[in-house]
Structure 1
Amino acid sequence: MATSLTQISSVSWEHPADRAALRALRALPGFDDVVRKIAGAFGERGIRNLFLGDAVLVGPTQRPALYALYQEVLHTLDWPRAGQSAPQLYVAQTPIANAGAVGFDQPFIVISSGTLELLDRDEQRFVLAQQLGHIMTGRTTYRTIALIVLFFGMSALPLLASIALLPFQLALLEWYRTSELSADRAGMLGTQDPRGSLMTFLKLAGGKPQDDAIDLDAYLAQASDYQMGGSAWDSVLKALNTALREHPFHTVRAGALHHWQQSGAYAAIVGGAYIKRGSEAERPFRDDLRDATDYYRDMAKEATDAVGGVITRAADAFRDAFKAAASMSDAAAPPPEPPPSGEPPTPESPAGP
């Protein structure tokens, strides 16, 4: 049985890059206005209808084993009980393994049937704790708006036409991705099974072992190689590959969570050394930026400094390629026939025998 983390504040598991990215997002001109307009356009009922579809509400008689597991997670993370009912949990029929916490005033959790089929009980516990962690941070409004943008696209939201769309979208998705790193920490705290938590990412990335075997340690080595290996150009490609994704790659999440566990922070919290609700202190933005530096350095390393050089080298490579292609074309072309004696032929006086 996992230890109940009585009165734990979400600040205890928030990733510094999450806080830094959210502050940067909030600093965008017009951001608060966009949030109000999107929330007002869809409303609480609208967002439920949008995301629920044919989903089934979990309860004591509806998927009772999953309901009991959810109650354990609520107990472990000490869901606030003062006049607050627990977020509703739904199961949606889809083979894609996924889960989400969405909503404005009354957020709820949706987990796919594909997730339940893929993961064992402890791994399902991790996913439920992740989503509860999202809700306990109090930022599901922003997450819901990010999902709306992903579902409908920026062009389908004319109310955003007055702001710089791409910077807004990139900043929103960057925060959305980093918020997953916070939720992963909540997931590990909710399961208190580090290897089971990390195994979740291995299965989400590669599926069940079926009649074969899967190796968590090999997967963690792969995650480390992805994060730390490669050239500056590789770092640029990684940034481009993730810029418009709603989630970080599973290897990145596994590596970041494993690093957090190895740092001793996870054990300290389980041992009782955590921030309690009501005792949170506002951190200066510079502290969040400083703490986030290690994360972004590991993720992008020297990419920012190298972008200019990469673009220059790419332009040179294209120019050289075109020169080479032109030279090859000239070399392959047949030599021109010598003109007949006398004046060169003209269209009015074609060459003849």
Structure 2
Amino acid sequence: MAFPKTPLIGLKADGFRHPLDLEATQSLKQLPGLDLIVRQLLGSIGEQFFYLDNIASSVLVSEQQLPELHQLLKEACQVLDLETPELYVRQHPMPNAYTFAMRGKKPFVVIHTSLIELLTPAEIQAVIGHELGHLKCEHGVYLTLANLIMLAAGQLSTVGALIAQTLQSQILQWVRCAEFSCDRAALLATQDSRVVSSVLMKLAGGSPTLAPQLNLDAFLAQARAYDESSSTELGLLLREAQTGQLTHPLPVLRAREIDRWASSKDYETLLQKGKMCYSSETEKKGEWRNW
């Protein structure tokens, strides 16, 4: 069966990584005390807790268990040229998905049932692609640190708590920047910017009842209006105040950002390069691909 999207053979993270992600990661690596806070947090809670909690409370997706979701995962991994992680579905009323990468353990992705109920299959694949972006960009260590700081702040020693408080704003800034790279991974996985933007729209104001009534073009116009109105000096200050304590950029900002990148030469070049590489690979195997 013909593959429905362009597989990006040999795709590297730096081929789509957002410049803000690169800048924030470099800044984070230079922070003093980072190693100490990691040791304290891992010593008090431990990564194993998260792994055991997940496998005890979720359903592992496979060819035998929720095979349609498993196929969406496999296709997204093929497109992004990434080894397939484990995918779990977890019963939860808050629409969310997250990725966890432990040292020496196979990484896994978790999607809440409420998010699945909100989205179409194509949009679910966009969410999977976004989470795979964290793995492709090797965000795992810092994602673990962010999760542990948020969950363990009350259990730290005084020294650990002070360091965690100092690092929290930098960690949150990094997480928000990393999300932009992962939205790009979602676009590469689906190769349809409207699908990615639709996910963001539904996260902003959707529900299983309202989702079919939402107008994506109106939401994109809203995103552009917000972008324009916050471009002044005062607007930038207000935007920073809005996002300073958030773990994700505002949905309208993410939609505007992905809308821009989808029409960029960088994105088009990645797809064209992927087509050329895939055509070359299929010809070597004696296969034919109709682009």
Which bin holds the TM-score, normalised by the shorter protein?
A: 0.7 to 0.9
SS at match of 1:138: coil
Report the counterpart of residue 5 of structure 1 in structure 2: 8
Separation in structure 1 between the aligned mates of residue 48 and residue 158 of structure 2, nearest angstrom:
20
Query: For 1:183 and 1:160, how far apart are their aligned partners in 2?
Result: 33
Aligned to 1:341: none
Look up the match of 2:263. Answer: 262
Deviation, structure 1 residue 199: 1.1
Question: Which structure is larger by alpha-carbon Rg, 1 or 2?
Answer: 1
Map 1:47-62 → 2, pairs under 5 A: 47-62=50-65
Indicate conservation of the 8 Å contact 1:87/1:109, yes or no: yes
Deviations 1:246-266 (A, max 9, x none): 111111111111111122222
TM-score (norm 1): 0.71
Match of 2:98 among 97, 100, 104: 100
- Give the structure 1 partner of residue 197 of structure 2: 198
Secondary structure class of the residue paired with 1:247: coil
The residue matched to 1:96 in structure 2 has which SS? Answer: coil
Q: Distance in 1 between matches of 2:246 and 2:54?
A: 19
Given that residues 227 and 252 in structure 1 are in contact (C-alpha distance below 8 angstroms), is that contact kept between their aligned partners in structure 2?
A: yes
Change in CA separation of 1:212 and 1:181 when aligned onto 2, cut-off 3 Å: closer
Aligned residues: 269
Deviation of the 1:97 alpha carbon: 1.0
Q: How does 1:12-161 map to 2 (within 5 A)?
A: 12-80=15-83, 86-105=84-103, 106=105, 107-152=107-152, 154-158=153-157, 160-161=159-160
If the length of structure 2 is used for normalisation, what is the TM-score?
0.85
Pairing 1:158-237 to 2, within 5 Å after superposition: 158=157, 160-161=159-160, 164-208=163-207, 210=210, 213-230=213-230, 231-237=232-238
Residues 101-157 of structure 1 deviation map (CA, whole Å, 9 limit, x = unaligned): 1132232100000111000010000000111110121221211210222233x3432
- Offset at 1:40? 4.5
Identity %: 32
| Change over 3 Å in CA distance of 1:160–1:249 after alignment to 2 | farther
> What one-letter code is carried by the residue in structure 2 that aligns with 1:67?
H
Distance, in Å, in 1 between the alignment partners of 2:123 and 2:159 is 39
CA distance in 2, matches of 1:167, 1:52: 33
> Over aligned residues, Cα RMSD in angstroms?
2.3
Is contact 1:47–1:103 with CA below 8 Å preserved after alignment?
Answer: no
Amino acid at match of 2:192: D
Task: Name structure 2 gaps, 5 residues minimum.
Answer: 278-291
Residue in 1 aligned with 2:282?
Answer: none
